[in-house]
Amino acid sequence: MTTYQNWQNNETLIKDLQAVEEMINQHIRIKNKQIEAQIKQVTNNHGKMLRPLFVILTSKMGNKYDHNKTIALAAAMETLHMATLIHDDVIDQADTRRQIPTLHTVKDNRYAIYAGDYLFSICFNMLSKYTEEFDILNYNARTMEKVLIGELDQLEARFTPPKSVKRYLSRISGKTAQLFAVSCYIGATESGASLRDRQRAYNMGKYIGMAFQIIDDILDFKGDEKNVGKPVMADIRQGIFTLPLIYSYQQQPDAVSALLKRPKPYTDETIHALEQQIIQTEALDAAQRLAERYTHKALATLSKLPEGSYKAMLGQIISDMLERTL
Amino acid sequence: MTTYQNWQNNETLIKDLQAVEEMINQHIRIKNKQIEAQIKQVTNNHGKMLRPLFVILTSKMGNKYDHNKTIALAAAMETLHMATLIHDDVIDQADTRRQIPTLHTVKDNRYAIYAGDYLFSICFNMLSKYTEEFDILNYNARTMEKVLIGELDQLEARFTPPKSVKRYLSRISGKTAQLFAVSCYIGATESGASLRDRQRAYNMGKYIGMAFQIIDDILDFKGDEKNVGKPVMADIRQGIFTLPLIYSYQQQPDAVSALLKRPKPYTDETIHALEQQIIQTEALDAAQRLAERYTHKALATLSKLPEGSYKAMLGQIISDMLERTL
């Protein structure tokens, strides 16, 4: 089930993303065909394929372009992302992702843990086969490290007072923005871009990822289950206190704190009261403004990159991501 | 807590293995010091460090030797092994490993999943930083793939009739022997050994790993909890039917089958009856003989490798592994 966005009716891009999907499928080869099919069901149930999209677009930045390599590196990024999603779903005990039952629900946690690990190994298999830059491999390994440090911090911080915007930003920088940053970096590097432009591509990706995660966290408050693909306010129920709640807490520490101290799991009434607090303090607007700031930083960085037709498309995608409702 | 074996009172080897431990510790850097300490407690509670040992010894095979690189690659292999152990312990819900409570017991499953993932990324970080051979990175990624295919197959095969020696061998080849094989291959490759000798080192490692896992599976029937570090006959209780049981089944299919069909979890009485079957059919001796055959193949392959002082030590370790009781 594919959910391409409006901005993805560019035929070349669609074809490239289909090639990415095929490349991932080709690499998943398990003697036990039942297990193989189950893992492929997960990888084929992808979302917007944003990370591969950024690899593909930034790979047009320099004057070298190798189609197969680009597709493989884009596939590696998507596979890494999927591996983390499978483990996230085990950890959150999420029953569905994008309306499809999650692997640990269809089989069990044990399968899902190994399947995630398997996808990690596929990612590094692809990378080591297709790139000639050790730098890229090392960036990837360190990206994966930062993703996990972010996730571990998020676990540790569960149900602790939502005080620090700084800690929130540092966490989402690890768990989300790094993978966008490295996707743009990989494309730029393989295209033969200058060191300075690679660094810019990395920064642009990081800003894109920050905005993306903030919007994601806003949608957890605003979206309905059918659109967002997971229950609304799922984060708060799990003790993950994101930016809107932090802003709300900063304005009304006593009221928010009293609500958060209530017995867990929170009742629907508590969740509703927290929702009211967030509305009253206009915390969603404040969060939206921060996402806008990151989007503007991403666009400003993009404007400094070498000219080329890829830039208009990238700019449009970055802007559209800010407006997304799912 | 370190449990070096007798054959490890070679001072240089002990120093090298300590350097491996330090190298791993240096790479585990997490802002949250509590999480960092917990992960280090796992990595410092290592066992015999066999995989790094094989990297170190085979790195003396050719005429290039780079100490730092060898230690780092050995550390990468141990880290990969530990990552798989952490996930295995979650999957088996094992309470302790080597008498120390497992990570998922001290914290919870969620920590353990991310901590294992984190160690995978550390492994690839070390590899990409210290090797200049893409080949090694690709072998590693594919090794990890095979480990996981083996583990997934083991999950899928739980509680199914223990019929096929072939499937058992294929599974342990993936889940255990590959990591030994790649450890020897890495050492040989980085030492500048010829392509033929690298391949031999790989095969030797594979035979070592096969013998190692068969002995491990025998010890699950023979050892007592204090020595082996896990409850005896833990595998059967979990539906993992290993070589001794397969041999026993081949001789007495009806009797063994009837016992295995009993309600799960098996009672102590069922476990005892299965134990008696295995004793009567002399299945442990037969398994031991297969482990010996693999050991002899490993020694025969070793004998073809280039001369050097490393060979005597390797030969002794390979022989000692066959006699181990823990």
The DSSP secondary structure of A88-133, one letter per residue, reads HHHHHT-SEETTEE-HHHHS-HHHHHHHHHHHHHHHHHHHHHH---
Pairing of strands A96-97, B96-97: unpaired
CA pair distance A215, A48, nearest whole angstrom: 15
> Out of B128, B134, B151, whose CB is closest to A138?
B128
Q: Which of B30, B152, B170 sits opposite A30 (nearest CB)?
A: B152
Exposure of B27 in the CB half-sphere (CA atoms within 13 A): 29
**Contact residues on chain B for A114, CB-CB shorter than 8 A:** 87, 91, 148, 151-152, 155
Q: Which of A296-310, B82-96, B152-166, B222-236 has the highest mean pLDDT?
A: A296-310
Closest Cα to residue A317, out of A2, A1, A13? Answer: A13
* Beta-carbon-side half-sphere exposure of residue B78 (alpha carbons within 13 Å): 30
Contact A152 B87 (CB under 8 A): no
B163 burial (CB, 10 Å; 0-12 / 13-18 / 19+) is middle
Q: Which of A183-187, B138-142, B191-195, B297-301 has the lowest mean pLDDT?
A: B138-142
Mean of pLDDT values over B188-197: 96
Give CA–CA dist A326/A59, Å, rounded: 27
For A155, nearest residue in chain B (alpha carbons): B111
Strand partners, A96: A101
pLDDT tens-digit series, residues B230-268? 567 889 999 999 999 999 999 999 999 999 999 999 999
A145–B134 CB contact, under 8 Å: no
Looking at residue B30, its amino acid is: I
Could you tell me the pLDDT band of residue B229, with boundaries at 50, 70 and 90?
Answer: low
Q: Name the residue with higher pLDDT: B11 or A118.
A: A118
Measured between CA atoms, how close is A7 to chain B, in angstroms?
A: 34
Residue of A nearest to B92 (CA): A110
pLDDT for position A225: 53
> How far is the alpha carbon of A91 from chain B, nearest alpha carbon, in Å?
5
pLDDT of residue A297: 98
Parallel, antiparallel or unpaired: strands A100-101 and A96-97: antiparallel
Q: Which domains does chain B have, with CATH numbers?
A: 7-323 (1.10.600.10)
Give residue A1's pLDDT.
29
Closest by Cβ to A124, choosing from B87, B124, B151 = B124
* Tens digit of each residue's pLDDT (9 = 90 or more) over B31-88: 888 888 888 988 888 888 999 999 999 999 999 999 999 999 999 999 999 999 899 8
Each residue's pLDDT tens digit, A16-70: 999 999 999 999 998 888 888 888 988 888 888 999 999 999 999 999 999 999 9
Whole-number pLDDT of residue B33: 87
Q: Which range has the top average pLDDT, A1-15, A285-299, B127-141?
A: A285-299
Measured distance CA(B119)–CA(B255) in Å, rounded? 44
Q: Is A127 left (phi over 0), alpha (psi -120 to 50) or beta?
A: alpha
Task: Report ipTM for this prediction.
Answer: 0.87
Which chain B residue's Cα is nearest to A93?
B110
pLDDT of residue B7: 53
Asked if A291 contacts A214 with a C-beta cutoff of 8 angstroms, the reply is yes
Q: Both tokens of residue B257?
A: 């089958």
**A289: Cβ contacts below 8 Å, ≥ 6 apart:** none
Closest-CA residue of chain A to B116: A117
Q: Looking at residue A3, what is its pLDDT? A: 39
- pLDDT band at residue A4 using 50, 70 and 90 as cut-offs: very low
Q: What is the pLDDT of residue A244?
A: 97
Dump pLDDT digits (tens) for A111-146.
889 999 999 999 999 999 998 888 888 989 999 999
- Give the pLDDT band (50/70/90) at residue A2: very low
Task: Please tell me whether residue B118 adopts helix, strand or coil conformation.
Answer: helix
Q: B35-74 as b/e, with b when 16 or more CB fall inside 10 Å?
A: bbebbeebbebbbbbbbbbbbbbbbbbbeeeeeebbbbbb
Residue whose tokens read 């005080």: A163
